[in-house]
Amino acid sequence: MLRVACLAFPLVALALLGGCSDPVPPTPQGAFSVQFSDTGVDCSIASHRSEAGDIDASKRTTVLVDGVEGASVTCSVSGTGPFDVSAKIFFGSDGINLSIPAINVGATEMSPATGALSFFSDRTAGDAFSSSQCNFYFKEGTGQGVAAGKLWVSFACPEVVESQNKCGITESHVIIENCEQ
């Protein structure tokens, strides 16, 4: 009888180990605050602020969680410096899609990383305004930064275009967390 018990314990232990799997990765989350700007005669959309979540350059109050209350957040922040970043955040009638092929922790307003951005809101009637020449940078003393799987950054796009409209985005902010690495 003792022999059977001695054999049973290792078999049970092996069976329990076989049931283990990788932990479920955390759910992506993010937020943005975009200051859309009417730059003049070539822009037919009025200046307005669009927000999904509640953030600014130094405050992270509320972020959206992918799949919760209709929010959609997908993101990737990979590398060890420079980092390759891509993100999409959609909430209601507002959304942002960005791509930064190379951003270092030292990106500043005077020496920013360049990337692409597409933005739409209820005020743009869902029409996406895009630019491949947006400036992404970290404001000193704010807590902003980049690391594998996360980014909190300020940005500006001197010109965003949709059809015949040429507008701008002045200093705005985005945060993404729990992203693919």
39-50 confidence digits (pLDDT tens): 998 999 999 999
pLDDT attached to residue 25: 78
pLDDT at 133 over 50: yes
- Residue 25 to residue 22: CA distance in whole angstroms: 9
SS3 content of the chain, % helix, strand, coil (to 5): 10, 50, 35
Q: What is the DSSP letter of 44?
A: -
Contacts with 29 (C-beta within 8 Å, 6 or more apart), sequence order = 63, 64, 65, 66, 73, 176, 177, 178
Helix (H) or strand (E) holding 4: helix 2-18
Token pair of 16 as six digits: 């329990």
- Residue 77 to residue 84: CA distance in whole angstroms: 6
Of the pLDDT bands very low, low, confident and very high (cuts 50, 70, 90), residue 6 is very low
Give CA torsion, residues 71, 76, 81, 82, to 10 deg.
-90
**Domain segments of the chain: what residues?**
23-177
pLDDT at 11 over 60: no
- Residue 162 to residue 124: CA distance in whole angstroms: 10
pLDDT attached to residue 2: 45
Distances in Å between the Cα of 152 and the Cα atoms of 6, 40, 68, 103, 109 are 55, 30, 21, 12, 14
pLDDT attached to residue 41: 86
pLDDT at 38 over 90: yes
Query: What are 63-119's pLDDT values in tens digits?
Result: 999 999 999 999 999 998 899 999 999 999 999 999 999 999 999 999 999 999 999
- Residue 75 to residue 66: CA distance in whole angstroms: 10
% of the chain surpassing 90 pLDDT: 83
pLDDT at 33 over 90: yes
pLDDT attached to residue 91: 96
Of the pLDDT bands very low, low, confident and very high (cuts 50, 70, 90), residue 144 is very high
Question: pTM value?
Answer: 0.86
- Check residue 132 and give left, alpha or beta (phi > 0: left; psi -120 to 50: alpha): alpha
pLDDT attached to residue 8: 46
**Mean pLDDT rounded to a whole number for the chain:** 90
